[in-house]
Amino acid sequence: MPTKLSRHAFRELSRTARVPGYDPAGLTAGIVHFGVGNFHRAHQAVYLDDLFGLGLDHDWALVGAGVRPADAGMRDSLLAQDWLTTVVEQEADTSAARVTAPMIDHLPIGDSSAIVNRLVDPAIRIVSLTITEGGYYIDPATQRFDPTHPDIAADARDLLTQPKTVFGLILAGLKRRRDVGIAPFTVMSCDNIPGNGHVTQNAVVGLAKLIYPELAAWVSANVAFPNGMVDRITPATGERERALLASEFGIADNWPVFCENFRQWVLEDNFPLGRPALEKVGVQFVPDVAPFEHMKIRILNGGHAAIAYPAGLMDIHFVHEAMADPLVRGFLEKLEREEIIPIVPPVPDTDLGGYYTLIERRFSNPKIGDTITRLCLDGSNRQPKFILPSAADRLAAGQGVTGLALVSAFWCRYCYGETDSGAPIPPNDPSWDRLQAQAKRARQEPKAWLEMTDIFGALGRSDIYAEAFSHALRTIWDKGTRATLAAYLDGTL
Protein backbone atom coordinates (compact mmCIF):
# COMPACT_ATOMS: atom_id res chain seq x y z
CA MET A 1 0.00 0.00 0.00
CA PRO A 2 1.33 3.48 -0.83
CA THR A 3 2.20 5.66 2.14
CA LYS A 4 -0.20 8.57 2.56
CA LEU A 5 1.51 11.92 2.53
CA SER A 6 1.62 13.48 6.01
CA ARG A 7 4.07 15.07 8.42
CA HIS A 8 3.92 11.97 10.60
CA ALA A 9 5.08 9.73 7.74
CA PHE A 10 8.44 11.33 6.96
CA ARG A 11 10.37 8.23 8.04
CA GLU A 12 8.40 5.93 5.73
CA LEU A 13 8.42 8.49 2.91
CA SER A 14 12.20 8.88 3.14
CA ARG A 15 12.66 5.33 1.79
CA THR A 16 11.79 6.51 -1.73
CA ALA A 17 11.75 10.32 -1.57
CA ARG A 18 13.78 13.16 -0.17
CA VAL A 19 11.95 14.64 2.83
CA PRO A 20 12.36 18.03 4.53
CA GLY A 21 15.40 18.37 6.74
CA TYR A 22 13.54 20.87 8.90
CA ASP A 23 10.45 20.68 11.09
CA PRO A 24 7.49 22.32 9.32
CA ALA A 25 5.94 22.98 12.73
CA GLY A 26 8.75 25.44 13.41
CA LEU A 27 7.96 27.65 10.41
CA THR A 28 6.10 30.96 10.64
CA ALA A 29 4.39 32.83 7.84
CA GLY A 30 6.04 35.63 5.87
CA ILE A 31 4.39 35.25 2.43
CA VAL A 32 0.79 35.05 1.28
CA HIS A 33 0.61 33.46 -2.16
CA PHE A 34 -2.39 33.71 -4.49
CA GLY A 35 -2.74 30.79 -6.89
CA VAL A 36 -1.38 27.61 -5.31
CA GLY A 37 -1.22 25.63 -8.53
CA ASN A 38 1.29 23.21 -9.96
CA PHE A 39 3.75 25.81 -11.19
CA HIS A 40 3.95 27.60 -7.84
CA ARG A 41 4.50 24.32 -6.00
CA ALA A 42 7.22 23.27 -8.47
CA HIS A 43 8.96 26.64 -8.44
CA GLN A 44 8.68 29.25 -5.65
CA ALA A 45 7.76 26.62 -3.06
CA VAL A 46 10.73 24.42 -4.06
CA TYR A 47 13.19 27.30 -3.75
CA LEU A 48 11.82 28.07 -0.28
CA ASP A 49 11.98 24.39 0.67
CA ASP A 50 15.66 24.36 -0.33
CA LEU A 51 16.32 27.50 1.71
CA PHE A 52 14.53 26.18 4.81
CA GLY A 53 16.54 22.99 4.43
CA LEU A 54 19.69 25.06 4.92
CA GLY A 55 18.33 26.12 8.29
CA LEU A 56 17.68 29.67 7.09
CA ASP A 57 14.76 32.12 7.10
CA HIS A 58 12.13 29.95 8.76
CA ASP A 59 9.97 33.05 9.24
CA TRP A 60 9.21 33.18 5.49
CA ALA A 61 6.79 30.27 5.19
CA LEU A 62 3.90 30.35 2.73
CA VAL A 63 0.19 30.86 3.35
CA GLY A 64 -1.96 30.03 0.33
CA ALA A 65 -4.92 32.06 -0.91
CA GLY A 66 -7.30 31.89 -3.86
CA VAL A 67 -10.37 33.53 -5.33
CA ARG A 68 -11.66 30.98 -7.86
CA PRO A 69 -14.06 28.19 -6.92
CA ALA A 70 -11.57 25.78 -8.52
CA ASP A 71 -9.01 26.77 -5.87
CA ALA A 72 -11.12 25.03 -3.26
CA GLY A 73 -10.19 21.60 -4.62
CA MET A 74 -6.50 22.35 -4.27
CA ARG A 75 -6.97 23.68 -0.75
CA ASP A 76 -8.94 20.61 0.34
CA SER A 77 -6.37 18.26 -1.21
CA LEU A 78 -3.44 19.93 0.53
CA LEU A 79 -5.23 20.32 3.86
CA ALA A 80 -5.77 16.55 3.94
CA GLN A 81 -2.00 15.99 3.73
CA ASP A 82 -0.69 18.67 6.11
CA TRP A 83 -0.07 21.15 3.25
CA LEU A 84 2.68 18.90 1.84
CA THR A 85 3.43 18.33 -1.85
CA THR A 86 5.38 15.59 -3.60
CA VAL A 87 7.45 17.06 -6.44
CA VAL A 88 8.74 14.53 -8.98
CA GLU A 89 11.65 15.91 -11.01
CA GLN A 90 12.22 14.06 -14.27
CA GLU A 91 14.71 13.81 -17.08
CA ALA A 92 14.81 11.27 -19.88
CA ASP A 93 16.81 8.76 -17.85
CA THR A 94 16.11 9.75 -14.23
CA SER A 95 13.21 10.43 -11.87
CA ALA A 96 13.48 11.63 -8.28
CA ALA A 97 10.79 12.51 -5.76
CA ARG A 98 10.95 15.04 -2.95
CA VAL A 99 8.40 16.07 -0.35
CA THR A 100 8.21 19.83 0.19
CA ALA A 101 6.79 21.58 3.25
CA PRO A 102 7.16 25.39 2.98
CA MET A 103 3.39 25.99 3.05
CA ILE A 104 1.81 26.05 6.50
CA ASP A 105 -1.77 27.20 5.82
CA HIS A 106 -4.26 28.09 3.11
CA LEU A 107 -6.93 30.71 3.71
CA PRO A 108 -10.58 29.81 3.03
CA ILE A 109 -11.58 30.35 -0.59
CA GLY A 110 -13.86 33.32 -1.05
CA ASP A 111 -13.53 34.54 2.56
CA SER A 112 -12.43 38.11 1.84
CA SER A 113 -12.38 39.08 5.52
CA ALA A 114 -10.03 36.24 6.45
CA ILE A 115 -7.75 36.99 3.50
CA VAL A 116 -7.58 40.75 4.13
CA ASN A 117 -7.00 40.20 7.86
CA ARG A 118 -4.02 37.98 7.03
CA LEU A 119 -2.67 40.55 4.58
CA VAL A 120 -2.74 43.16 7.36
CA ASP A 121 -0.63 40.96 9.64
CA PRO A 122 2.78 42.72 9.99
CA ALA A 123 4.49 39.34 9.65
CA ILE A 124 3.36 39.19 6.01
CA ARG A 125 6.04 41.07 4.11
CA ILE A 126 5.54 39.64 0.61
CA VAL A 127 2.35 38.87 -1.31
CA SER A 128 3.09 36.77 -4.38
CA LEU A 129 0.90 35.69 -7.29
CA THR A 130 0.70 32.89 -9.82
CA ILE A 131 -2.68 33.58 -11.41
CA THR A 132 -1.85 32.82 -15.11
CA GLU A 133 -1.48 35.27 -17.97
CA GLY A 134 -5.25 35.70 -18.22
CA GLY A 135 -5.68 36.76 -14.58
CA TYR A 136 -4.36 40.31 -14.85
CA TYR A 137 -7.27 41.96 -16.68
CA ILE A 138 -5.06 43.02 -19.58
CA ASP A 139 -6.59 44.29 -22.81
CA PRO A 140 -5.02 41.92 -25.39
CA ALA A 141 -4.55 44.60 -28.05
CA THR A 142 -3.08 47.36 -25.89
CA GLN A 143 -1.47 45.04 -23.29
CA ARG A 144 -2.67 47.49 -20.63
CA PHE A 145 -4.88 47.08 -17.60
CA ASP A 146 -8.59 47.08 -18.49
CA PRO A 147 -10.50 49.03 -15.80
CA THR A 148 -13.82 48.28 -17.54
CA HIS A 149 -13.66 44.54 -16.96
CA PRO A 150 -16.81 43.44 -15.07
CA ASP A 151 -14.81 41.87 -12.22
CA ILE A 152 -12.82 45.06 -11.65
CA ALA A 153 -15.91 47.25 -11.99
CA ALA A 154 -17.67 45.11 -9.37
CA ASP A 155 -14.84 45.54 -6.86
CA ALA A 156 -14.86 49.28 -7.52
CA ARG A 157 -18.62 49.55 -6.91
CA ASP A 158 -18.20 47.54 -3.73
CA LEU A 159 -15.59 50.06 -2.47
CA LEU A 160 -13.40 47.12 -1.37
CA THR A 161 -15.86 46.06 1.36
CA GLN A 162 -15.95 42.46 0.05
CA PRO A 163 -13.41 42.27 -2.79
CA LYS A 164 -13.65 39.30 -5.12
CA THR A 165 -10.53 39.78 -7.27
CA VAL A 166 -6.92 39.21 -6.27
CA PHE A 167 -6.21 42.88 -6.90
CA GLY A 168 -9.19 44.01 -4.85
CA LEU A 169 -7.96 41.90 -1.94
CA ILE A 170 -4.39 43.17 -2.26
CA LEU A 171 -5.60 46.77 -2.42
CA ALA A 172 -7.88 46.29 0.59
CA GLY A 173 -4.95 44.84 2.54
CA LEU A 174 -2.67 47.71 1.57
CA LYS A 175 -5.32 50.29 2.47
CA ARG A 176 -5.82 48.76 5.92
CA ARG A 177 -2.08 48.63 6.52
CA ARG A 178 -1.74 52.28 5.52
CA ASP A 179 -4.65 53.30 7.72
CA VAL A 180 -3.22 51.60 10.83
CA GLY A 181 0.40 52.57 10.18
CA ILE A 182 1.84 49.21 9.06
CA ALA A 183 4.41 49.38 6.27
CA PRO A 184 3.18 47.93 2.96
CA PHE A 185 4.12 44.45 1.85
CA THR A 186 5.93 43.85 -1.45
CA VAL A 187 3.77 42.49 -4.29
CA MET A 188 5.64 39.91 -6.38
CA SER A 189 4.22 38.41 -9.57
CA CYS A 190 5.45 34.95 -10.56
CA ASP A 191 3.62 34.79 -13.90
CA ASN A 192 4.93 34.67 -17.47
CA ILE A 193 4.11 38.23 -18.46
CA PRO A 194 6.50 40.83 -19.85
CA GLY A 195 7.22 43.31 -17.06
CA ASN A 196 5.08 41.30 -14.64
CA GLY A 197 5.86 43.68 -11.78
CA HIS A 198 4.75 46.68 -13.80
CA VAL A 199 1.65 44.82 -14.97
CA THR A 200 0.73 43.96 -11.38
CA GLN A 201 1.31 47.54 -10.25
CA ASN A 202 -0.90 48.81 -13.07
CA ALA A 203 -3.70 46.50 -11.96
CA VAL A 204 -3.53 47.47 -8.28
CA VAL A 205 -3.12 51.19 -8.97
CA GLY A 206 -5.68 51.08 -11.78
CA LEU A 207 -8.30 49.64 -9.47
CA ALA A 208 -7.41 52.18 -6.77
CA LYS A 209 -7.91 55.05 -9.22
CA LEU A 210 -11.50 53.94 -9.71
CA ILE A 211 -12.24 54.26 -5.99
CA TYR A 212 -9.68 56.26 -4.02
CA PRO A 213 -7.31 58.38 -6.17
CA GLU A 214 -5.25 59.33 -3.11
CA LEU A 215 -4.75 55.62 -2.33
CA ALA A 216 -3.60 55.07 -5.90
CA ALA A 217 -0.96 57.77 -5.46
CA TRP A 218 0.13 56.25 -2.14
CA VAL A 219 0.48 52.76 -3.66
CA SER A 220 2.49 54.14 -6.57
CA ALA A 221 4.86 55.93 -4.19
CA ASN A 222 5.21 53.31 -1.46
CA VAL A 223 4.60 49.76 -2.66
CA ALA A 224 7.31 47.69 -4.37
CA PHE A 225 6.41 45.53 -7.39
CA PRO A 226 9.63 43.77 -8.46
CA ASN A 227 9.78 42.26 -11.93
CA GLY A 228 10.77 38.65 -12.25
CA MET A 229 11.31 35.88 -14.78
CA VAL A 230 10.26 32.36 -13.84
CA ASP A 231 10.81 29.12 -15.72
CA ARG A 232 10.07 25.46 -15.19
CA ILE A 233 7.99 23.18 -17.41
CA THR A 234 5.23 21.84 -15.19
CA PRO A 235 2.34 19.92 -16.76
CA ALA A 236 -1.08 19.46 -15.22
CA THR A 237 -1.67 16.64 -12.74
CA GLY A 238 -4.03 13.78 -13.59
CA GLU A 239 -4.60 10.17 -12.69
CA ARG A 240 -1.51 9.25 -14.74
CA GLU A 241 0.72 11.22 -12.38
CA ARG A 242 -0.97 9.95 -9.21
CA ALA A 243 -0.63 6.36 -10.42
CA LEU A 244 3.04 6.83 -11.36
CA LEU A 245 3.81 8.30 -7.94
CA ALA A 246 2.10 5.39 -6.19
CA SER A 247 3.69 2.68 -8.34
CA GLU A 248 7.23 4.07 -8.64
CA PHE A 249 7.65 5.76 -5.25
CA GLY A 250 4.96 4.20 -3.05
CA ILE A 251 3.46 7.57 -2.14
CA ALA A 252 -0.22 8.52 -2.09
CA ASP A 253 -0.52 12.25 -2.81
CA ASN A 254 -3.83 13.92 -3.65
CA TRP A 255 -2.17 16.41 -6.01
CA PRO A 256 1.50 15.69 -6.79
CA VAL A 257 3.54 17.82 -9.18
CA PHE A 258 5.63 16.35 -11.99
CA CYS A 259 8.18 18.66 -13.61
CA GLU A 260 11.55 18.82 -15.32
CA ASN A 261 14.81 19.17 -13.39
CA PHE A 262 15.54 22.58 -14.89
CA ARG A 263 14.34 25.68 -13.06
CA GLN A 264 15.21 29.35 -13.23
CA TRP A 265 14.17 32.46 -11.33
CA VAL A 266 15.55 35.92 -12.05
CA LEU A 267 14.37 38.77 -9.80
CA GLU A 268 14.85 42.47 -9.25
CA ASP A 269 16.03 43.02 -5.70
CA ASN A 270 13.31 45.42 -4.58
CA PHE A 271 11.91 44.24 -1.22
CA PRO A 272 11.66 47.11 1.29
CA LEU A 273 10.55 44.86 4.18
CA GLY A 274 13.21 42.28 3.44
CA ARG A 275 13.10 38.93 1.71
CA PRO A 276 14.30 35.36 2.10
CA ALA A 277 17.93 34.76 1.12
CA LEU A 278 16.93 33.04 -2.11
CA GLU A 279 20.26 33.80 -3.74
CA LYS A 280 21.65 30.99 -1.55
CA VAL A 281 19.51 28.45 -3.44
CA GLY A 282 20.01 29.60 -7.01
CA VAL A 283 17.75 32.62 -7.54
CA GLN A 284 19.49 35.28 -9.61
CA PHE A 285 19.02 38.89 -8.44
CA VAL A 286 19.69 41.47 -11.14
CA PRO A 287 19.15 45.21 -11.65
CA ASP A 288 17.02 44.64 -14.75
CA VAL A 289 15.00 41.49 -15.46
CA ALA A 290 13.70 42.70 -18.84
CA PRO A 291 16.38 41.06 -21.05
CA PHE A 292 15.88 37.69 -19.34
CA GLU A 293 12.09 37.74 -19.48
CA HIS A 294 12.12 38.99 -23.07
CA MET A 295 14.32 36.04 -24.01
CA LYS A 296 12.19 33.53 -22.17
CA ILE A 297 8.80 34.79 -23.32
CA ARG A 298 9.80 35.09 -26.97
CA ILE A 299 11.94 31.95 -27.30
CA LEU A 300 10.47 29.45 -24.81
CA ASN A 301 6.84 30.53 -24.49
CA GLY A 302 6.77 31.53 -28.14
CA GLY A 303 8.22 28.14 -28.99
CA HIS A 304 5.50 26.36 -27.05
CA ALA A 305 2.85 28.39 -28.86
CA ALA A 306 4.48 27.61 -32.21
CA ILE A 307 4.37 23.82 -31.90
CA ALA A 308 1.06 23.64 -30.04
CA TYR A 309 -1.46 24.17 -32.82
CA PRO A 310 0.10 22.22 -35.70
CA ALA A 311 0.66 19.32 -33.30
CA GLY A 312 -2.93 19.58 -32.10
CA LEU A 313 -4.21 19.55 -35.66
CA MET A 314 -2.18 16.40 -36.31
CA ASP A 315 -3.72 14.63 -33.27
CA ILE A 316 -0.42 14.55 -31.37
CA HIS A 317 -1.03 14.19 -27.64
CA PHE A 318 2.29 14.84 -25.85
CA VAL A 319 4.84 17.60 -26.37
CA HIS A 320 7.74 15.17 -26.59
CA GLU A 321 5.86 13.29 -29.31
CA ALA A 322 5.52 16.53 -31.25
CA MET A 323 9.27 17.11 -30.94
CA ALA A 324 9.88 13.61 -32.30
CA ASP A 325 8.02 14.55 -35.49
CA PRO A 326 10.59 15.95 -37.98
CA LEU A 327 8.11 18.46 -39.41
CA VAL A 328 7.20 19.96 -36.02
CA ARG A 329 10.79 19.97 -34.78
CA GLY A 330 12.00 21.47 -38.04
CA PHE A 331 9.29 24.13 -37.97
CA LEU A 332 10.26 25.16 -34.46
CA GLU A 333 13.98 25.37 -35.24
CA LYS A 334 13.56 27.32 -38.48
CA LEU A 335 11.08 29.73 -36.87
CA GLU A 336 13.26 30.31 -33.83
CA ARG A 337 16.58 30.70 -35.62
CA GLU A 338 15.31 32.76 -38.57
CA GLU A 339 12.49 34.89 -37.16
CA ILE A 340 12.41 34.96 -33.34
CA ILE A 341 15.99 34.82 -32.04
CA PRO A 342 17.37 37.48 -34.45
CA ILE A 343 15.11 40.14 -32.90
CA VAL A 344 15.69 39.21 -29.25
CA PRO A 345 18.07 41.77 -27.68
CA PRO A 346 21.29 40.51 -26.07
CA VAL A 347 21.01 38.99 -22.58
CA PRO A 348 23.85 39.29 -20.04
CA ASP A 349 26.12 36.23 -20.00
CA THR A 350 23.75 34.27 -22.23
CA ASP A 351 24.19 32.76 -25.69
CA LEU A 352 20.75 32.85 -27.33
CA GLY A 353 21.56 30.00 -29.67
CA GLY A 354 22.62 27.87 -26.74
CA TYR A 355 19.49 28.88 -24.86
CA TYR A 356 17.37 27.60 -27.75
CA THR A 357 19.32 24.33 -27.86
CA LEU A 358 18.54 23.85 -24.16
CA ILE A 359 14.85 24.55 -24.80
CA GLU A 360 14.77 22.04 -27.65
CA ARG A 361 16.12 19.40 -25.26
CA ARG A 362 13.64 20.38 -22.56
CA PHE A 363 10.67 20.18 -24.93
CA SER A 364 11.84 16.70 -25.98
CA ASN A 365 11.89 15.27 -22.44
CA PRO A 366 9.69 12.13 -22.63
CA LYS A 367 9.26 11.84 -18.88
CA ILE A 368 7.39 15.11 -18.39
CA GLY A 369 4.16 14.09 -20.08
CA ASP A 370 3.30 17.69 -20.95
CA THR A 371 0.29 17.75 -23.24
CA ILE A 372 -0.36 19.62 -26.46
CA THR A 373 -3.82 20.48 -25.11
CA ARG A 374 -2.20 22.41 -22.25
CA LEU A 375 -0.02 24.36 -24.66
CA CYS A 376 -3.05 25.20 -26.81
CA LEU A 377 -5.02 26.55 -23.84
CA ASP A 378 -6.02 30.22 -23.76
CA GLY A 379 -4.50 31.31 -27.05
CA SER A 380 -6.47 34.55 -26.93
CA ASN A 381 -4.31 35.61 -23.98
CA ARG A 382 -1.08 33.89 -24.96
CA GLN A 383 -0.74 34.81 -28.64
CA PRO A 384 -0.69 38.57 -27.90
CA LYS A 385 2.10 38.02 -25.37
CA PHE A 386 4.23 35.27 -26.92
CA ILE A 387 3.85 35.48 -30.73
CA LEU A 388 2.33 38.71 -32.01
CA PRO A 389 4.98 41.04 -30.46
CA SER A 390 7.71 39.22 -32.39
CA ALA A 391 5.74 39.68 -35.61
CA ALA A 392 5.22 43.38 -34.88
CA ASP A 393 8.94 43.87 -34.15
CA ARG A 394 9.93 42.17 -37.39
CA LEU A 395 7.56 44.31 -39.43
CA ALA A 396 8.91 47.44 -37.74
CA ALA A 397 12.39 46.34 -38.77
CA GLY A 398 11.28 45.70 -42.35
CA GLN A 399 11.66 41.93 -42.01
CA GLY A 400 9.42 39.05 -43.09
CA VAL A 401 6.85 37.28 -40.90
CA THR A 402 6.09 34.11 -42.88
CA GLY A 403 6.64 31.73 -39.97
CA LEU A 404 5.11 33.89 -37.26
CA ALA A 405 2.01 34.50 -39.40
CA LEU A 406 1.84 30.74 -39.95
CA VAL A 407 1.76 30.19 -36.16
CA SER A 408 -1.34 32.37 -35.86
CA ALA A 409 -2.89 30.72 -38.92
CA PHE A 410 -2.49 27.33 -37.23
CA TRP A 411 -4.15 28.82 -34.13
CA CYS A 412 -7.08 30.02 -36.26
CA ARG A 413 -7.42 26.62 -37.92
CA TYR A 414 -7.32 24.91 -34.48
CA CYS A 415 -10.12 27.15 -33.21
CA TYR A 416 -12.31 25.90 -36.07
CA GLY A 417 -12.87 22.99 -33.72
CA GLU A 418 -11.67 19.87 -35.51
CA THR A 419 -8.31 18.32 -36.37
CA ASP A 420 -7.11 17.43 -39.86
CA SER A 421 -8.49 13.94 -39.29
CA GLY A 422 -11.93 15.33 -38.43
CA ALA A 423 -11.69 14.64 -34.69
CA PRO A 424 -13.48 17.27 -32.60
CA ILE A 425 -11.40 19.73 -30.59
CA PRO A 426 -13.09 20.51 -27.25
CA PRO A 427 -13.36 24.18 -26.16
CA ASN A 428 -9.91 25.28 -25.01
CA ASP A 429 -10.14 29.03 -24.43
CA PRO A 430 -12.27 31.31 -22.24
CA SER A 431 -13.40 32.98 -25.49
CA TRP A 432 -13.89 29.73 -27.41
CA ASP A 433 -17.37 30.49 -28.81
CA ARG A 434 -16.21 33.78 -30.25
CA LEU A 435 -12.98 32.32 -31.59
CA GLN A 436 -14.76 29.42 -33.23
CA ALA A 437 -17.26 31.73 -34.92
CA GLN A 438 -14.44 33.87 -36.31
CA ALA A 439 -12.46 30.80 -37.38
CA LYS A 440 -15.42 29.49 -39.36
CA ARG A 441 -15.76 32.84 -41.13
CA ALA A 442 -12.03 32.90 -41.75
CA ARG A 443 -12.16 29.62 -43.68
CA GLN A 444 -13.55 31.61 -46.61
CA GLU A 445 -12.39 35.07 -45.54
CA PRO A 446 -9.01 34.72 -43.75
CA LYS A 447 -8.89 38.38 -42.78
CA ALA A 448 -12.00 37.86 -40.64
CA TRP A 449 -9.65 36.39 -38.01
CA LEU A 450 -7.70 39.64 -37.91
CA GLU A 451 -10.88 41.63 -37.23
CA MET A 452 -10.40 40.76 -33.56
CA THR A 453 -8.65 44.06 -32.92
CA ASP A 454 -8.62 43.49 -29.17
CA ILE A 455 -6.15 40.66 -29.92
CA PHE A 456 -4.29 41.77 -33.06
CA GLY A 457 -4.39 45.56 -32.67
CA ALA A 458 -2.43 47.42 -35.34
CA LEU A 459 -0.77 44.20 -36.49
CA GLY A 460 -4.03 43.01 -38.01
CA ARG A 461 -4.24 46.20 -40.08
CA SER A 462 -0.82 45.65 -41.64
CA ASP A 463 -1.19 44.67 -45.29
CA ILE A 464 2.05 42.69 -45.15
CA TYR A 465 0.97 40.70 -42.10
CA ALA A 466 -2.59 40.22 -43.38
CA GLU A 467 -1.33 38.82 -46.68
CA ALA A 468 1.14 36.45 -44.99
CA PHE A 469 -1.55 35.24 -42.60
CA SER A 470 -4.18 34.83 -45.31
CA HIS A 471 -1.84 32.86 -47.56
CA ALA A 472 -0.81 30.61 -44.66
CA LEU A 473 -4.41 29.90 -43.63
CA ARG A 474 -5.52 29.14 -47.19
CA THR A 475 -2.60 26.75 -47.56
CA ILE A 476 -3.49 24.94 -44.34
CA TRP A 477 -7.08 24.49 -45.51
CA ASP A 478 -6.06 23.48 -49.05
CA LYS A 479 -3.15 21.16 -48.26
CA GLY A 480 -3.42 20.23 -44.58
CA THR A 481 -1.04 20.77 -41.70
CA ARG A 482 1.73 18.36 -42.72
CA ALA A 483 2.01 19.65 -46.28
CA THR A 484 1.97 23.25 -45.03
CA LEU A 485 4.80 22.56 -42.59
CA ALA A 486 6.76 20.88 -45.37
CA ALA A 487 6.22 23.90 -47.65
CA TYR A 488 7.47 26.24 -44.94
CA LEU A 489 10.56 24.12 -44.38
CA ASP A 490 11.49 23.92 -48.07
CA GLY A 491 10.82 27.62 -48.63
CA THR A 492 7.84 27.24 -50.97
CA LEU A 493 5.11 28.52 -48.63
- Residue 157: which CATH number? 3.40.50.720
Residues 24 and 147 in one domain: yes
Residues 305 and 184 in one domain: no
Q: Amino acid identity of 122?
A: P
Residues 281 and 301 in one domain: no
**CA 252, CA 1: separation in Å to the nearest integer?**
9
Q: What is the pLDDT of residues 49-84, one digit of tens each?
A: 999 999 999 999 999 999 999 899 999 999 999 999
Q: Amino acid identity of 144?
A: R
For residue 176, give the H/E element and its range: helix 166-180
Residues 260 and 370 in one domain: no
**CA 392, CA 180: separation in Å to the nearest integer?**
47
Residues 240 and 321 in one domain: no
Residues 264 and 297 in one domain: no
Q: Show the domain range for 158.
A: 3-286
Residues 223 and 326 in one domain: no
Of 312, 316, 352, 308, the residue nearest 332 (C-alpha): 308
Q: How far is CA 289 from CA 15, 185, 310, 463, in A?
A: 40, 21, 32, 34
- Residue 405: which CATH number? 1.10.1040.10
Which of 232, 254, 286 delimits the end of a domain? Answer: 286
Mean pLDDT of 204-228: 97
Residues 246 and 307 in one domain: no
Residues 116 and 74 in one domain: yes
Of 362, 136, 384, the residue nearest 232 (C-alpha): 362
Residues 150 and 203 in one domain: yes
Which of 268, 286, 304 delimits the end of a domain? Answer: 286
Q: What is the pLDDT of residues 142-194, one digit of tens each?
A: 778 999 999 999 999 999 999 999 999 999 999 999 999 999 999 999 998 88
Which of 265, 286, 307 delimits the end of a domain? Answer: 286
pLDDT confidence of residue 253: 98
**CA 469, CA 465: separation in Å to the nearest integer?**
6
Residues 329 and 363 in one domain: yes
Of 160, 132, 140, 276, the residue nearest 219 (C-alpha): 160
Residues 254 and 310 in one domain: no
Q: What is the pLDDT of residues 239-288, one digit of tens each?
A: 999 999 999 999 999 999 999 999 999 999 999 999 999 999 999 999 99
Number of domains comprising the chain: 2
Q: How far is CA 112 from CA 175, 177, 202, in A?
A: 14, 15, 22
Task: Tell me the DSSP string of 402-471.
Answer: HHHHHHHHHHHHHHTSB-TTS-B----STTHHHHHHHHHHHTT-GGGGGG-HHHHGGGGG-HHHHHHHHH
Q: Is the pLDDT of residue 46 over 90?
A: yes
